[in-house]
């Protein structure tokens, strides 16, 4: 039962942080396309790990610095908007699964398949 509660809390945190990212005035965050891919919160609601991915990989390092800088503001707003008794500390993590998936797709598409071998299974 507790895992369902944490899953719902994770979803709410993800939605709220997605909305709050638009209000951050730091240009490192404002000028970068950021996607929150996953959120994990500890059962005691003290920490939440937020996985983010970036459309422009060359800006990822600076954007992560901007997110870490804005963590206090986001934590305060998150606690206020979601009416948490204790607002969890935000830990940012880079999620490179989208980049990895795109690279794998590129590798698969670069393979040459001999159509004659495929049609004739001898």
The answer to whether the beta carbons of residues 13 and 39 sit under 8 Å apart is yes
With 90 as the cut, is the pLDDT of residue 10 above it?
Answer: yes
What are the structural domains of the chain?
2-95 (3.30.300.20)
The pLDDT value recorded for residue 117 is 54
pLDDT of residue 49: 96
Confidence at 113, pLDDT banded by 50, 70, 90: low
Compute the mean pLDDT over every residue in the chain, rounded to the nearest whole number: 86
Q: Which range (4-13, 77-86, 95-104, 107-116) has the least confidence?
A: 107-116
Residue 12 has pLDDT above 80, yes or no: yes
Residues 44-84 pLDDT 10s: 889 999 999 888 878 888 999 999 999 999 999 998 888 88
Please tell me the pTM assigned to this model.
Answer: 0.77
pLDDT of residue 2: 63
Distance CA 22, CA 77 (A): 12
Alpha helices in the chain (DSSP H): 2-21, 27-30, 60-69, 71-82, 97-110, 115-119
Q: Is the pLDDT of residue 3 over 90?
A: no
Read off the pLDDT of residues 18-52 as tens digits, 9 standing for 90 and up.
999 999 998 888 888 888 999 999 998 899 999 99
């Amino acid at each position: 039962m507790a895992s369902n509660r944490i899953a719902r809390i994770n979803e709410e945190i993800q939605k709220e942080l997605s909305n709050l990212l638009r209000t951050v005035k730091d240009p490192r965050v404002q000028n970068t396309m950021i996607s929150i891919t996953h959120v994990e919160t500890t059962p005691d609601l003290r920490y939440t790990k937020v996985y983010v991915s970036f459309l422009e990989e060359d800006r990822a390092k600076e954007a992560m610095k901007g997110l870490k800088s804005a963590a206090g503001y986001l934590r305060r707003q998150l606690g206020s908007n979601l009416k948490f008794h204790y607002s969890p500390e935000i830990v940012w993590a880079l999620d490179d699964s989208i980049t990895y998936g795109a690279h794998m797709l590129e590798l698969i598409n670069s393979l040459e398949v001999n159509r004659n071998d495929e049609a004739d299974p001898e």
